[in-house]
Each structure stands twice: as C-alpha cells, then as structure tokens.
Amino acid sequence: MKFGETFKEYLHGDQEWFLDKVSHVEYKRLKKVLKSCRRCKALHEGNSTIEQADVEQQQNPTLSRFCQCQSCPVCDQMFFTELMREATDIAGCFSSRVRHLLHLHVPRGMQRYVLRLRQCFKNDQQALVEEGLMLIEYITMNAIAIRKILKKYDKVHSSANGKKFKSKLRAEHLELLQSPWLIELGALSLNFKGSDDGEAFIQFSGSFSCNLDEMEPVMTLVLPHSIKLEYNLKCAICLEIVFNSYALSCGHLFCKSCACSAASVMIFQGLKASSPDSKCPICREAGVYANAVHMLELDLLIKNRHKDYWKERAIAERAEMVKQSKVYWESQTKYVVGY
C-alpha cells in the first residue's frame, strides 16, 4: 500500500476524534501542489504529455505556470510556508500533550497528593498507555509524511530544496523525531514495561529499547517503514550516562551539574539563571539553556535500571551543591558586611 493511502486511513481511522482537534500534515493538498509542477516541467522540457497537463490546468486553476524545474515561486510559497506552519503546530501540540501525560505519571507538588487520592478510586495507568501509543503514532505518521513529501518535491523539481528545508527544520528545532519529548515518551514506555501483561502495555514498550550497559548507552526507537532511531544517553562533558539530565533547546543531553558548569551557573541556581549568551558545549548555539527540558522520566528509568550508579551520582551532586552553596553565601556575606 502506498503511503498516501496509509496516511489517509490513519486520518480517518480510530483516532479521527483526536486528529480533528490537532494539526497534521495536509499530505493530499501538498501532493496536489506538486502535481501542478509536473505540467510546468513538461512545458519546460517540451514533453509530449503537455496536452494532458493542459487538461489538468483547466481542472485546477491554482496550478503553477511559473515552475522552471529547480525553482517555482508559486509552488514554493504555498508548499514550504504551509509545511513550516504545520511542522511548528505539530511539534507544539506533541510537546504539550506529552508534558501533560508525564505530569500525570510523575506528579510534583500538591498534584502528587491529588493524583494519589484519585488513584484510590480510579486506575489511570491504562489511559496513560493508550494516550502514549496515540502520541507515538501521531508524531511518527506526521514525520514520515514530511519526509515523503519533501522527497517527492526534490524528485519533481530535480532539486535539493527539500533536503535544504530538512536542514532548516533541524536548525529551527522542529525535526519531529529528534524531539526530547519523544525520548521522554520512550522512557515512560520502558518504565511501564513489565508492569502489566496487557496487550496495550506490550505494544507501548515494544517500539523502544534501552541499553545502558555498553560503553555507548543508547535508547533505540523502531518505527514503521524501516525507520530506526538511536538516541545517545552519554553526557558529552563527563562522558558518563546522563544523570538528572536536561535537554537543551538545541536537542543535546547533559547532566544537570555538567550543564550548569558549562553555563557558568551554580547547581542550586538552575539553568534558568544562565546568561542568554551561554552556548551549548557541542553545537555552540547560544540561548539554549533557558527553555531546557528536565528529563524526569529518563532519570527515573536510569534510577530503576542502575540503582547503584544513580545513588552514587546523587550523593556526589548533593555534596557539590552544598559546597557551591557554602561558597556562594560566604561571598554574599562578605559583600554585604564589606570585608
């Protein structure tokens, strides 16, 4: 079955009620935009199918008359602007939905006690798993749709603009399958693994696997259409498995203590206290600390699978935090007293 038919079935399947409320790739409409360029290409190359293309032009008045294979002002404006907007909306929707889901699993503050009281009357675990499955399929199908439509664009135009647009998505932190929230969702699924024998639990955790025993700790995600993604879980600063990890806006993972050191702030101050000029140690992008994502589920996964390592790192971080706090308040006292 072609992907267009698979995507259409997905849009009108069991999750139609969910997809009506959220953004998704308008695959069929974007494909029609590209279809218009085939007529333009025929005109440009003197193709014998030009009469057939003229019929298509009469049936659809929005078809471009300006495509010159590698550049098409009408097509590009409609195609890339629309795709960028859709990718932005999808990334925003996915992150907000996953954030809400994780708050239900790892609540903080007063929400923890409210949810514990609620669990006495209702078990929400099955609902969390079903929503997790739905979100994985949502981000996967839309990411594949973007990949397929960009590949088709390059084929129609005989250009590399589709590949350049992929790079632009990566630069704008809109590459869907590289979202830190997908790593968090994977950690959530692995934390659920073995907690129930139901089919939904097995399916939820089946796409993800995690190996923390090798020199290169990785989380692996296996998707349809032979797509396999690996997420490196080693901190690039201390060269150990990330502990109390944060994902910067650029997507790179670091231990909290390592990230604070790179941003020239103390651990107890947190990454939000960093300067806007502070750069990622790997890609050197500035301003990536303020909106860093605290990877709570990933930290819980490492805690469950490497208890001794996690406990050792927790003691070391606490000791370093106390040391930094003492130095900081001594310097503040000297400043106030004046000596």
Q: What is the pLDDT of residues 252-268, one digit of tens each?
A: 999 999 999 999 999 99
Sheet with 227-232: strands ordered across: 208-211, 218-223, 227-232
- Can you give the pLDDT at residue 64? 40
> What confidence score (pLDDT) does residue 313 get?
93
pLDDT at residue 3 in the model? 81
Q: How confident is the model at residue 107 (pLDDT cuts 50, 70, 90)?
A: low
Answer yes or no: is pLDDT of 196 > 60. Answer: no
Digit-coded pLDDT (tens) for 132-184: 888 888 998 899 999 889 888 888 877 788 888 888 888 888 888 889 999 99
For 221-243, the pLDDT digits (tens) are 887 667 788 899 999 999 999 99
Residue 209 has pLDDT above 90, yes or no: no
> 0.75 exceeded by the pTM?
yes
**Average pLDDT for residues 185-198, to the nearest whole number?**
70
Question: 54 pLDDT band (50/70/90 cuts)?
Answer: very low
Q: Give the chain's length.
A: 339
| Average pLDDT score over residue span 100-125 | 64
24-28, 70-74, 170-174, 311-315, range with the lowest pLDDT: 70-74
Mean pLDDT of the chain: 79
Q: What percent of the chain has pLDDT over 90?
A: 29
The confidence score (pLDDT) of residue 63 equals 40
CA 70 to chain centre: 31
